[in-house]
Structure 1
């Protein structure tokens, strides 16, 4: 587990990091919710096919800058973001509560990993 900061303000929420191909493919599938957020590394798009709940999706560039934030209902396919390198997923409504919006920087706080 890790935590993350938004524009320099730490969010005391659990953050799972999906670094392997298998973990990225699985994502939040099969879950009824998520406590905190999931970071999909090396990812520029997501889908919600087979998901049980709506999610907020933040597309991050290589420095952790938020390129876009979208809410996706189950059964949707998101368009790829050309400059995106990571995708942050959380339950719908969470990104607004945390202050994650276009232009802010998200930094992962974990030993040995993190954009920026």
Structure 2
């Protein structure tokens, strides 16, 4: 896993951990005592909340890192796959509201 700065609509908002291997994507946020500020799963088209104890903010992203859909994912819920989604951004609930992230926001990664 690598760490970068997360940029939303031109503003740096958090540090993001990038899970870009099968193992790091499979682990995701499961069984973590402390959640990172954000986690980017790539490639990934949908996520589930199985075994999660808390709700999460989840954004489904297109290849150009545009937000196709954002939602709060409850424990044991599943996101519905959407056409064109290639990556998923997860964060502690309330993060997206603080960052101003919503459908059609542009996300980018900056150097750590």
State the TM-score bracket (shorter-chain normalisation). over 0.9
Shift of 1:33: 4.0
Q: Give the unaligned 5+ runs of structure 1.
A: 112-116
Aligned length, in residue pairs: 110
Shift of 1:47: 0.3
What is the match of residue 71 of structure 2? 70
Q: Give the unaligned 5+ runs of structure 2.
A: none
- Give TM-score scaled by structure 1 length: 0.89
**Do the aligned partners of 2:17 and 2:36 also contact (CA within 8 Å) in 1?**
no
What is the match of residue 90 of structure 2? 89
- Give TM-score scaled by structure 2 length: 0.92
Q: Could you list the runs of 4 or more consecutive aligned residues of structure 1 that deviate by over 3 angstroms after TM superposition?
A: none
Aligned residues: CA RMSD = 1.3
Cα distance in 2 for partners of 1:69, 1:59 equals 6
